[in-house]
Chains A and B, each alone.
Chain A
Amino acid sequence: MEFTEAQLERYSRHIILNEVGGKGQKKLSQAKVLIIGAGGLGSPAALYLAAAGVGTLGLVDGDVVDLSNLQRQILHTTDRIGVPKVESGRQTLAALNPDITVKTYQENVSAENIMRLFHDYDIIVDGSDNFSTRFLINDACFFAKKTLISGSIFRFEGQLATIKPHEGFPCYRCLYPEPPPAGLVPNCQEAGVLGVLAGTIGVLQAAEAIKEILKVGDTLADKLLIYDALDMKFRKVSRPKDPNCRLCGPHPTIKNLSGDYAVSCAI
């Protein structure tokens, strides 16, 4: 595929970077990224990946746009309240960059559909909103050998990690072996989140995804990034591979997706 004059101009600030160049831009145009959740994290991640020219973006979300989403979910607009989020997202991304393909999946991920959803994609961006789904996505990425860019937010705090056990790095269960039991932590509506925090972490997810596609720079494959918006502090901690990991360790006890991934609205 050759770039048109308009595309060369659109991506000119990328193409003049040594780390990207024409070759890198072509890699971006051939890349396929699936974004789970067209909400707080998924919105900024999708916008920057679309702007960057990532050729195929998949959006997975079963919800419709709600007025209370608009404080942070910047894919959506006031006149789209009640519209499926994936459709609203598709319209926004197509208007930003008509060169790319946006595929929509108006459903919530489950153990039954996740392998089908993952099939056509290279990189998975997790913008989901509950522990059960996060552990399901981690486990499915491990079995499907997909690179996972994991971001999460709570009130004023964000976490980010690049997960690729298929390249010898730790999985999410090496970091946190089990989700908390339901009821021990506040549920989604009670929690609250600083809207712009979703932007900070979602954009960092896009940056990590682009670096994975381009194969440049250092990534968070063996680190956890923690961001505290109130203290204005970023810190990175080590994230070793757990030799006793139930999923990616030498003696796994999780061998498929038949476990309990029932969604509780707990953060």
Chain B
Amino acid sequence: MIKVRIPTPLRPLTKGQGEVEATAANISEMIETLNSAHPGLKDRLCDDKGELRRFVNIYVNEEDIRFLNGKDTSLKDGDEVSIVPAIAGGN
């Protein structure tokens, strides 16, 4: 089981939950699993080609998956995944 931290902008899709649990061997699987439980989530994370959007980062523990193995980055029991989209408010 892994814990996935959901950012504020995506919480409407998880009924307001800031953290959800998932069972997955890698990030691709995790996205599919999450999308089954929370339809629409995948569209917010990935573009039409299934690639991770360039203003959304996913961290396994503290590491950005773009600098690991991207969506093939493997997951193990107890990992904490954070989804962190860019935000731009300041005013």
Contact = CB atoms under 8 A, between A and B. Distances in A.
Interface in B61-91: 62-64, 66-67, 82, 84-91
Contacts, number: 106
A236 interface: yes
Contact of A176 (B54, B67, B90, B91): B54
Residue in A128, A154, A177 whose Cβ sees the most chain B Cβ within 10 Å: A154
Contact of B54 (A177, A191, A226): A177
A154 B64 contact: no
Contacts of A236: 62
Interface residues of B, number: 23
Contacts of B66: 242
B39 to A, nearest CB: 18
Contacts of B9: 154-155, 185-186
Contacts of A188: 89, 91
A126 B90 contact: yes
Contacts of B57: 175-176
Given A230-B18, A237-B62, A240-B67, A151 B90 contact: yes
A180 B86 contact: yes
Contacts of B89: 40, 129, 152-154, 188, 191, 193, 267
A177 B67 CA distance: 13
A225 to B, nearest CB: 11
Nearest to A240: B67
Contacts of A239: 64
Counting contact residues on chain A (CB < 8 A from B), the size range is 35 or more
A179 B90 contact: no
A24 interface: no
A208 interface: no
B55 A179 contact: yes
Contacts of A134: 88
Interface in A144-163: 151-159
Nearest to A129: B91
Interface in A101-140: 126-131, 134
Given A127-B91, A179-B86, A180-B86, 15 more contacts: A37-B90, A37-B91, A42-B90, A73-B91, A129-B90, A130-B88, A152-B86, A154-B8, A155-B8, A175-B57, A180-B55, A180-B85, A226-B82, A237-B59, A238-B67
Interface of B: 7-9, 18, 53-55, 57, 59, 62-64, 66-67, 82, 84-91
Interface of A: 37, 39-42, 69, 73, 126-131, 134, 151-159, 175-180, 185-186, 188, 191, 193, 198, 224, 226, 228, 230-231, 235-240, 242, 266-267
10 contacts: A40-B90, A42-B90, A131-B55, A152-B87, A154-B9, A157-B87, A159-B87, A175-B86, A177-B55, A224-B84
